[in-house]
Amino acid sequence: MSEAPETELPHHSNDPFRTRCAMLVSTLAMCLAIASLGGNNASKESMSNNILAANAYSFYQAKNIRQTDYKIAADELRVQLANDKLSPAAKALAEKKLEGYEKNIARYESEPETGDGKKELMEKAKEHEHERDTALRQDPWFDYAEALLQIAIVLTSVAILTSAQVLFWIPCCLGILGILSTINGFFLFI
């Protein structure tokens, strides 16, 4: 029985070029993970805030419809009160109803205690839209970063395999651009 010959890889433990390439790949992979995380978070934030804004606008519309119903009912009561054909008891009841309707109309307009008035809902919706828009501006930067970092890792691997030291500087430049894109994705300097 003969054993298959072992193939040995060349021993390059002290090759500074391969060490630099390995460090570059490690750094690029770490930055790629951070960019990927940032991109995923930006996507989730944009989707979540879009839903919250839509919900706030829907709630606003529902409040507006209810408020309009109360305004119509209040106008009808005012017309009835203006006719002077009501008995004193009916007139008192209509005035009490009108007062209640006017309170509801005011409550639907603004309700700072609960934050559910039309004014507060509109502010919430605009805030969610702003957060969504910020996340949508961040997301492409993370996409650029991921692409640049992945290409840089592949080119570094090619540099290691070919021992072409010229190829080392191209992934370095792409890696720097990828890192800058990641940073810009988080902070939106540009």
Task: State the Cα–Cα distance between residues 105 and 70, nearest whole angstrom.
Answer: 6
Buried b (16+ CB within 10 A) or exposed e, 131-151: bbeebbebbebbbbbbbbbbb
Q: Which residues lie below 8 Å from residue 125, measured CB to CB, with a gap of 6+?
A: 53, 56, 57, 60
In a domain, 70, yes or no: yes
- How sure is the predictor about 184, in pLDDT bands with cuts at 50, 70 and 90? very high
In a domain, 63, yes or no: yes
- Number of domains making up the chain: 1
In a domain, 2, yes or no: no
In a domain, 8, yes or no: no
pLDDT of residue 15: 87
User: What are the DSSP calls for 31-82, one per residue?
Assistant: HHHHHHHHHHHHHHHHHHHHHHHHHHHHHHHHHHHHHHHHHHHHHHHHHHHH
In a domain, 117, yes or no: yes
Residue pLDDT, tens place only, 47-99: 999 999 999 999 999 999 999 999 999 999 999 999 878 899 999 999 999 99
pTM: 0.81
| C-beta separation of 173 from 23 below 8 A | no
Look at 13 and 103; give whichever has higher pLDDT. 103
In a domain, 4, yes or no: no
pLDDT of residue 4: 58
Domain, as residue range, for 179:
17-187
In a domain, 141, yes or no: yes
- How sure is the predictor about 3, in pLDDT bands with cuts at 50, 70 and 90? low
What percentage of the chain has pLDDT greater than the value 70?
93
In a domain, 133, yes or no: yes
